[in-house]
Amino acid sequence: MKARVPRNAGGAAANNMQGMIRQAQKMQDEMKLKQDEIEAMEFTTEAGGGMVTCVMNGKKEIVSLTLKKEAVDPEDVEILQDAIKAAVNEAIKKIEDVTTEEMTKITGGISIPGLF
């Protein structure tokens, strides 16, 4: 008696692989859309008790940097420099946190190196 092999033997594996590829493509498309959304957002931070305000877009470009007049003391430039650095660094951290949070929602927590 001969063994019968179904006509589509191996077809299930091929269909499964195609499904995984489609799912990965969908995930990649969703991630691209979300990244575009984040890049269009603006993130505002303050430092030095509100003396320095930094507005940065999701591309990590400074949109505006506002200094209150009281923050400008020619005798103590270091404090102003520190406040500017703090405001910019906090804006960058906010962008990175939002990006990680949103991408994790899409990937289901799977870390994909190099994507975000």
What pLDDT score does 20 carry? 86
Kindly indicate whether the domain formed by 11-107 is annotated with CATH number 3.30.1310.10.
yes
Residue 42 pairs with which residues in a beta bridge? 57
- Hey, what's the torsion of the CAs at 22, 24, 27, 29, to 10 degrees? -70
More confident residue, 9 or 38: 38
What is the C-alpha to C-alpha distance for residues 114 and 107, in angstroms, rounded to an integer? 13
Written as one letter, the residue type at 111 is: S
What pLDDT score does 11 carry? 66
Q: How far apart are the first and last CA of the chain?
A: 57
44 near 62, Cβ under 8 Å?
no
Percentage above 70 pLDDT, the chain: 85
What is the C-alpha to C-alpha distance for residues 112 and 103, in angstroms, rounded to an integer? 10
Domain extent listing, the chain: 11-107
Query: Which of 35-39, 52-56, 86-90, 105-109 is the least confident region?
Result: 105-109
Q: 57, exposed or middle or buried, with CB in 10 Å at 0-12, 13-18, 19+?
A: middle
pTM of the model: 0.76
What is the C-alpha to C-alpha distance for residues 19 and 41, in angstroms, rounded to an integer? 33
